[in-house]
A = this chain, B = another copy of it.
Amino acid sequence: MTSLRGGRAGGSSPHRKRVATLADVAEIAGVSSSTASRALNGRGELADSTRAAVLEAAAQLDFRPSALARSLRTRTTFTVGFVVPDVASPFYAAALKGAQGALEEAGYRVMLMDSEQQAAGEIAALRTLLDHQVDGLLVATTGLSPKRFDEVTGGSGTPCVFFDSIIRRAGAGSVGLDNDPGMRLLVDHLVEHGHERIAILAGSLAETSGIERLRAFRKAMRRRGLAPRAEYERRCRWSVESATLATHELLELSAPPTAVVASSAELALGCLAACRERGLSLPGDLALAGFDDPYFGDLLEPPLTAVGYDPRAVGRAAASLLVEAMRDGDRPYETVTVPVELVRRRSCGCPG
């Protein structure tokens, strides 16, 4: 196959026929490039014959307009930036997929950046995206301060919609989850199973979902007459490993909890892993319920009781909000909340 690459005159690839430009199309069609442009974009009135000629020339040359040149001129890229702490997380991957679909329908492409759960990464991502003149931003922040966020994006006026984790007083809208009711569902359910010593694997408190879920947990506990105990609140990074560690710590307490609530799918998985390492069986030795119902939640051992929601809907909603904001810069701030529901499976103590 290397022999195929033999030809070398003019460029690295033998097949590279200099790609056609608008001027080429115009020339072949025998018109000026402005006319060609109009014909191709359906703007202005032109003679049917002219339009046909241009279209034919374009087809003949397999003309593809340069998105770069067009964007430079029109100051619109039809590209939106998507920033998440971790694309490999099932939640963000699904949200991305949902957003993709909605954006594509509206004619937008997505440029993806992974902040690696770090403020510095997020800032770099935003900078890059703005340098590329994205028309809008979809971000699940790792917890930037409003001030910092403004410093980075302030000048551009690029609309931004937050999802999952929000920056206050910033952006054109946000979509979040029903964190408070969700947590309450979890706690109430565990309490109904007779638990009182309930611990929480909380996520990073730099992020909205981390904070809100922890607060909601405390509130739900109090509402049930249960005092939240500091040693039962375990702050983790949003990773399986981090939760495994935290669960071990919890289980080594002199009065270990009888149930735990995990703030995310990763954290629930970590809890499961820790129990397996210790030879504990759920829900007998420890009951577990999580916020986030991963698509394989049903196939785990034990099947995971969790608060579920449609992660794609989150992405989709955020994308819709953004599209609206991009089309009309002066819309009021809008918030969407995606509903959640309790999925009872065995890990909490419910029958299989």
Chain A: residues with CB nearer than 8 A to chain B? Answer: 1-2, 4-5, 11-13, 15-17, 19, 62, 64-69, 71-72, 77, 79, 86-88, 90, 93-94, 96-97, 100, 109-114, 127-128, 130-133, 150, 154-157, 169, 240, 269, 272-273, 276, 294-296, 298-303, 329-330, 332-333
- A77's nearest neighbour on chain B, judged by CB, is B68
Contact among B127, B150, B296 with A269 in the assembled complex (CB-CB below 8 Å): B296
A87 contacts B77, C-beta separation under 8 Å:
no
Supply 26 A–B pairs (Cβ within 8 Å), ascending by A.
Answer: A4-B169, A11-B157, A16-B156, A64-B131, A65-B131, A67-B133, A68-B68, A69-B72, A87-B87, A87-B93, A87-B96, A88-B93, A88-B94, A88-B97, A109-B111, A109-B128, A110-B111, A112-B112, A269-B296, A273-B298, A276-B299, A296-B300, A299-B300, A299-B301, A300-B300, A300-B301
B300 contacts A333, C-beta separation under 8 Å:
no
Contacts A2-B332, A88-B94; is A111 near B114 (CB within 8 Å)? no
- Bound form: Cα–Cα A155–B112 in Å: 26
Q: Would you give the shortest CB distance from A21 to chain B, in whole angstroms? A: 12
A333 contacts B65, C-beta separation under 8 Å:
no
Contact among B1, B13, B132 with A67 in the assembled complex (CB-CB below 8 Å): B132
- Bound form: Cα–Cα A13–B2 in Å: 55
- Bound form: Cα–Cα A150–B66 in Å: 20
- A302's nearest neighbour on chain B, judged by CB, is B301
Q: List residues of chain B with CB within 8 A of the CB of A157.
A: 11-13, 15-16
- Bound form: Cα–Cα A268–B180 in Å: 35
A131 contacts B300, C-beta separation under 8 Å:
no
**8 A-B pairs closest in CB distance:** A301-B301, A12-B329, A13-B157, A16-B157, A93-B93, A88-B97, A112-B112, A67-B132
Q: List residues of chain B with CB within 8 A of the CB of A169.
A: 1, 4
- Bound form: Cα–Cα A109–B330 in Å: 30
- Bound form: Cα–Cα A119–B302 in Å: 39
A240 contacts B2, C-beta separation under 8 Å:
no
With A16-B155, A300-B301 already in contact, 15 other A-B pairs whose C-beta atoms are closer than 8 Å: A1-B169, A15-B150, A19-B155, A62-B155, A66-B133, A68-B132, A109-B113, A110-B111, A110-B112, A112-B112, A269-B299, A273-B299, A276-B298, A299-B300, A299-B301
Contact among B12, B72, B154, B301 with A66 in the assembled complex (CB-CB below 8 Å): B72
- A100's nearest neighbour on chain B, judged by CB, is B114
- A69's nearest neighbour on chain B, judged by CB, is B72
- Bound form: Cα–Cα A226–B335 in Å: 60
Q: List residues of chain B with CB within 8 A of the CB of A156.
A: 16, 19
Contacts A88-B93, A100-B87, A333-B2; is A155 near B15 (CB within 8 Å)? yes
- A304's nearest neighbour on chain B, judged by CB, is B299
B87 contacts A97, C-beta separation under 8 Å:
yes
